[in-house]
Structure 1
Amino acid sequence: MRPRRSHPAEGAKRGLGGEEGAARLATAGSRLALAAVVAIGGAAALVAIGVNAWWWLPMVMAVALWPCIRQ
């Protein structure tokens, strides 16, 4: 069964339509991308100075990205 398509006006009522929805999506994507760059860059810097990262690197990535994922 195919999902029902909503009318564009319904999406606008929910705040999901037009330029506003696209801007909100772009902002969320930008925040996620920035958090990923910071987390990866910070981890790479620590690895470059010789810190063993096998156990804490996934934890640092998760902590850095969690606020962006929750939104």
Structure 2
Amino acid sequence: MIFEMMDLYSKRLETFSKDEAPDWLTSANQVPGSTMDSSWFWEEHVLTLEPGQSVNTDFKKITRIR
């Protein structure tokens, strides 16, 4: 899986794979169940995207490109 993430304000683009996703998105270094744990968003929304589909956060648009 390959994703493109666009900052909604600066329009900066970043591309990443499922295995290289940012820690803030996957909650790799967070305490499960804490207020900073966004693993539910990663698992239930981002990883379920089909190629071409997008999901928005407050500041980012994440699109699965492959």
TM beyond 0.5: no
TM-score w.r.t. structure 1 length? Answer: 0.26
The one of the two structures with greater contact order (alpha-carbon pairs below 8 A, sep at least 6) is 2
More helix by share: 1
